[in-house]
Amino acid sequence: MSKIIDVSQSPYAKLKTIPISSVKVKGFMGKYLETLVSVTLPTQYDLLESTGRLDNFRIASGKLKGLYKTYFPFDDTDVYKWSEAVSFALASKELPELEEILDTVIEEIKDAQDEDGYLGTYLSGERKKERWTNLAWNHELYNAGHLIQAAIAYKRVTGKTALIKAARRFADHIRSVFGPGKKEGAPGHPEIEMALVELYRETKDKKYLDLSKYFIYARGRGFISVPRNPGPEYFIDHKPFVELEEITGHAVRALYLCCGVTDLYLETGDEKIWQALNRLWENFVRKKMYITGGAGSRHEWESFGEEYELSNRRSYAESCASIANFMWNFRMLLATGDGKYANIMEQVLYNGLLSGISFDGKHYFYFNPLEDSGKTRRQKWFDCACCPPNLARFIASFPGYIYTVSNEGIQVHLYEKSSTELLFKGTSVKIEQETDYPWNGQIFFTIKTSIEEPFTIYLRVPGWSNDFSARIDGREISAEPQNGYVMLNRSWEGRHTIEFSLPMKPELMEAHPLVRDDFGKTVVKKGPIIYCAEQVDNPDFHVWTLAVDSENMKEEKRKSSTEKWCFSREQEGQ
């Protein structure tokens, strides 16, 4: 039951998630997943050990003498995200060695828990007295959120309950501290909101949902005691969530908050937060998102800029913000079934998210510039190491994002060579995807099921696509997409094929005229992928001075030019 999030009982989820283990990815993302288990997860474990992040737990539990070994108060979360990543990876593949390591790590985490349920290594020992005194910077609730998510993933995939018991104890402790009549507060860095909703889904205990709701509604009421610099907007504490009109502040904070609020909506159907979510989504996607799906245009405070402020050279577009963007849109998709959200998932996936990790699986971007002098290089690790394990858990969870099911049928949101067996109304449906996506738009499905009654297979028609064609068992189908999906309704009993074709042509795209940094510039894209011109492919000219002769360019030339870039993108990898 290895679902990333489990909305099977969520009354406002139109679509329901399926287990990660149902889908075996074998294509473009399959390669990332292979590298993840063979390189990324083992090297990250070594780094958790060598940088002292695991020692922090040993010190907190008294097994090791000394002081907190690392710099930031949120370094525990690197261990939690890695644990979540390994758990999700185990859903795709048996990995006995990694599982053994994970079990040991889980023990180390558990042992660091205090008797009262508190779990956090930064504020242990001498610093214990500082607990809950600095919600703005100490990240205790953020840490708790990642702990809960890791615990749920570990339990869902392995069935082992050791960590979720600890996480629940910590959540109960937090509940004993915070709330009306107790300490009023909200997390300096949102994250726990979505974790608590998931804990509610996992345990069916409504108090966790209530606590999440409490934290969401506690924002913007001055409970965080934010420092004057960077001020309340950075923390998204300048207004109650339901009053927000513009997405501002620290990009990851803002987008994680939107994830948690959407999770709350999926359970409660709260109309006010739904309206706020939609306002923020429109503002974000239309005025503050890079064409790569990147979020946050300012290095200064890792934050959103003003509307249409999308610098290329100084784009921040943190890898974690891209992941958060994907996660939020997935939740919005579950709430609505509207393909516009899946379009953004696809857009950020191939452009601003996977750019965060190299093909070798062990070098990372923290920020993802859209234009660079060549000095920004992927690194092996960061002092503030949020991105690498976040990328790992994203890749591990990826198979769970491709399909959903609803009462009406099965939705295909993302295209990837893969073998899937899922349950539709309790009966098996096997789906093979044969495709080179995202390099071309031919997708060949084989469906096998014993279900006699008709149901619908929804195929997303991407926002970038001007055209598509579909054949069932070789016969052309004419269909108008609705909400971004072609709906193929029939009985799928037996074995059937769908040939779905999304012609990809190189295209030039211009930005909104108010994006002054993009004036006179063009994006070269093909299908879902934005291309990048690199110096290594253009030895004769400074790459920044290359121009596109859009008027006189023949299609063939355009094609070869972009394919060259694409090739270099693969070559350069690192």
The site for a second copy (CB under 8 A) is made up of: 298-300, 305-307, 309, 311-314, 371, 373, 375, 513-514, 516-517, 519-521, 542, 544-545
- Cβ–Cβ < 8 Å for 401, 413: yes
Residue with tokens 């108090």, as numbered in its chain: 207
Alpha helices (runs of H) in 178-240, residue ranges in sequence order: 192-203, 206-218
Rounded to whole angstroms, how far apart are CA atoms 379 and 471? 46
The 523-526 sheet, strands edge to edge: 506-509, 523-526, 529-530
Determine the distance from the C-alpha atom of residue 451 to the mean position of all C-alpha atoms in its chain, rounded to a whole number: 33
Q: Which amino acid is at 212?
A: S
- Residue 52 or 179 having the CB closest to a second copy: 52
The residue from 191, 193, 202, 302 that is catalytic is 302
Task: Tell me the CA distances in angstroms from 16 to 19, 320, 402, 496, one per residue in order.
Answer: 10, 25, 12, 24
- Cβ–Cβ < 8 Å for 220, 243: yes
Q: Least CB distance from residue 543 to a second copy, whole Å?
A: 10
- Cβ–Cβ < 8 Å for 260, 220: no
Q: Least CB distance from residue 301 to a second copy, whole Å?
A: 9
Alpha helices (runs of H) in 219-270, residue ranges in sequence order: 251-268
Rounded to whole angstroms, how far apart are CA atoms 151 and 420? 26
Rounded to whole angstroms, how far apart are CA atoms 5 and 195? 10
- Residue 21 or 303 having the CB closest to a second copy: 303
- Residue 314 or 564 having the CB closest to a second copy: 314
Q: Least CB distance from residue 517 to a second copy, whole Å?
A: 6
302 is catalytic: yes
- Cβ–Cβ < 8 Å for 313, 372: yes
Number of neighbours of residue 572 by Cβ within 10 angstroms: 13
Residue with tokens 């023949």, as numbered in its chain: 554
Q: Least CB distance from residue 232 to a second copy, whole Å?
A: 16
Task: Tell me the CA distances in angstroms from 311 to 100, 296, 308, 324, 351, one per residue in order.
Answer: 45, 10, 9, 20, 16
The helix/strand/coil state of 277 is helix
The residue from 258, 259, 386, 566 that is catalytic is 386
- Residue 11 or 513 having the CB closest to a second copy: 513
- Residue 495 or 516 having the CB closest to a second copy: 516
Which structure tokens are listed for 263?
Answer: 């999770």
Number of neighbours of residue 292 by Cβ within 10 angstroms: 22
- Residue 1 or 546 having the CB closest to a second copy: 546
Q: Which of 434, 488, 419, 426 is nearest to 457 (CA)?
A: 488
Q: What residues pair up with 472 in beta bridges, in sequence order?
A: 475, 498
Q: Which of 449, 447, 456, 444 is nearest to 481 (CA)?
A: 456
Q: Least CB distance from residue 249 to a second copy, whole Å?
A: 15
Number of neighbours of residue 228 by Cβ within 10 angstroms: 6
- Residue 34 or 371 having the CB closest to a second copy: 371
Q: Least CB distance from residue 308 to a second copy, whole Å?
A: 8
- Residue 159 or 374 having the CB closest to a second copy: 374
Q: Least CB distance from residue 519 to a second copy, whole Å?
A: 5
Rounded to whole angstroms, how far apart are CA atoms 122 and 137? 12
Alpha helices (runs of H) in 94-191, residue ranges in sequence order: 96-111, 140-158, 162-177
318 is catalytic: no
Number of neighbours of residue 361 by Cβ within 10 angstroms: 25
- Residue 314 or 340 having the CB closest to a second copy: 314
- Residue 474 or 513 having the CB closest to a second copy: 513
Q: Least CB distance from residue 305 to a second copy, whole Å?
A: 8
Rounded to whole angstroms, how far apart are CA atoms 280 and 161? 37
Q: Least CB distance from residue 313 to a second copy, whole Å?
A: 6
Rounded to whole angstroms, how far apart are CA atoms 105 and 123? 20
Q: Least CB distance from residue 252 to a second copy, whole Å?
A: 17
- Residue 206 or 512 having the CB closest to a second copy: 512
> 165-193 burial, b for 16+ CB within 10 Å, e for fewer?
ebbbbbbebbbebbbeeeeebbbbbbbbb
Q: Least CB distance from residue 522 to a second copy, whole Å?
A: 11
Q: Which residues are catalytic?
A: 302, 386
